[in-house]
Amino acid sequence: MSSYLKLENIRKSFNKTEVVKDLSLEIKEGEIMSFLGPSGCGKSTTLNMIAGFLEVDRGKIEVAGESVHLLPPHKREMGMVFQNYALFPHMTVFDNVAYGLKIRKVKKQEIRKRVLEGLEMVRLAGYENRYPKELSGGQQQRVSLARALVIKPKLLLLDEPLSNLDAKLRQEMREEIVDIQKKVGITTIFVTHDQEEALAISDRIAVMYDGRIEQVDIPSAIYNNPKTDFVSEFIGEVNQVKGKVLEVYKDNKSKILFFGKELIIPSDSSQDTMLNFFIRPEKVQIVNFRNTEEDTGIEMKVDKKMFLGARTRYFLKVNGEQLIADISNTVLNPSQIQEESTVIVHLNPDDLLLRKGR
């Protein structure tokens, strides 16, 4: 599918500090793309340039093949939802949702029809006459979603729409947003600094850092094949593991020493170099005794364990190095592993990600 939204080399500075740095990105029609990154990395600034609330210093923005970066916000036909709902407190739910249609001079009957449809879609039929203060946070956020959708925008822009809600409601609302987005088929950008939220709702994720996009990919690729150290560390949790190249073979494989044990893994580094790897805690496997004499697992001491509900986190130690293992409690009953005891740790060579630097 061809791209629907195209950002070409856009830049933005505030007081001579560049906060969006030559950013390019293409989003397909109907796609839900997340902007994910730490506070201050430029997510809202980028979104506001797309919406037209901020001008680009340089670069181009195209929607459906047409340049929009010189148009004022109301001519861009985009629906935006903010973190703080931004509802008009003195207007009823009906009038809040109708607002964008009124200023577009839509006929009264048509407004009524579209507002009621919009409220139906966000499961708020019957709430037309309430005022924002008579609604819960989740309901207010649904009103602002309805308000953004009724204008039938070309793009739906959501800037941390769920961050004021409690954990349970956040999860419900994110499922609802995805359902509505798929039903309407609207191209959507979802800004968040919550990696789990981004993994759960996105078709693709653009991971941002310091005004740039580090990687754009489907969620599983962002998680399993991070292209930079920043992406590895920002998404999910990682152990950092050092390995020494003991021997290099012809087929781009090497014998590497990890925690005093040898593993053969793909690598083309030369002998005696120290390599840095990441491994996710859930990829570390542990058993409480050696299966056979030839079992090549690494002996480690359980320094501490932490019950986390569905899984347990084990803090392991060997030769002063630490390794964290997250094990499902259905795979290994935590009562079988005592603190201070010794366990056997297995690392699958495929799960060791070579650090790339930035």
Ligand X SMILES: Nc1ncnc2c1ncn2[C@@H]1O[C@H](COP(=O)(O)OP(=O)(O)OP(=O)(O)O)[C@@H](O)[C@H]1O
Specify the residue, 13 or 228, whose C-beta has the smaller distance to ligand X: 13
CB of 266 to ligand X, least distance (A): 36
Question: Interface with ligand X includes 266 (CB under 6 A)?
Answer: no
Among 14, 88, 249, 307, contact with ligand X (rule: CB under 6 A): 14
Q: Which does 39 bind (CB under 5 to 8 A by kind): ligand X, Mg ion, none?
A: ligand X
Show Cβ contacts of residue 332 under 8 Å, excluding neighbours closer than 6 positions: 286, 287, 312
Question: Interface with ligand X includes 43 (CB under 6 A)?
Answer: yes
Question: Interface with Mg ion includes 34 (CB under 5 A)?
Answer: no
Question: Interface with Mg ion includes 44 (CB under 5 A)?
Answer: yes
Specify the residue, 46 or 96, whose C-beta has the smaller distance to ligand X: 46
Specify the residue, 153 or 211, whose C-beta has the smaller distance to ligand X: 211
What mask of x and - would describe binding to ligand X in positions 161 to 200, judged by CB under 6 A? Answer: --------------------------------x-------
Hey, is 101 helix, strand or coil?
helix
Binding window for Mg ion (CB under 5 A); candidates: 20-28, 39-47, 48-56, 243-251: 39-47
Q: Parallel, antiparallel, or unpaired for β 155-159 and 78-81?
A: parallel
Q: Cα–Cα distance between 155 and 163 in angstroms, integer?
A: 21
Among 6, 23, 31, 42, contact with ligand X (rule: CB under 6 A): 42
Bridge partner list, 37:
none
CB 254 within 8 A of CB 267: yes
Q: Which does 41 bind (CB under 5 to 8 A by kind): Mg ion, ligand X, none?
A: ligand X
Show Cβ contacts of residue 60 under 8 Å, excluding neighbours closer than 6 positions: 6, 7, 8, 9, 10, 67, 69
Q: Cα–Cα distance between 171 and 157 in angstroms, integer?
A: 19
CB of 157 to Mg ion, least distance (A): 12
Q: Which does 88 bind (CB under 5 to 8 A by kind): ligand X, Mg ion, none?
A: none
CB 324 within 8 A of CB 275: no
Exposed/middle/buried for residue 5 (C-beta within 10 Å: 0-12, 13-18, 19+) = buried
Question: Interface with ligand X includes 40 (CB under 6 A)?
Answer: yes
Q: Cα–Cα distance between 55 and 47 in angstroms, integer?
A: 11
CB 273 within 8 A of CB 245: yes
Among 34, 45, 144, 239, contact with ligand X (rule: CB under 6 A): 45
Residue ranges that bind ligand X, judged by CB under 6 A: 14-15, 19, 37, 39-45, 193
Q: Which residues bind Mg ion (CB under 5 A)?
A: 44
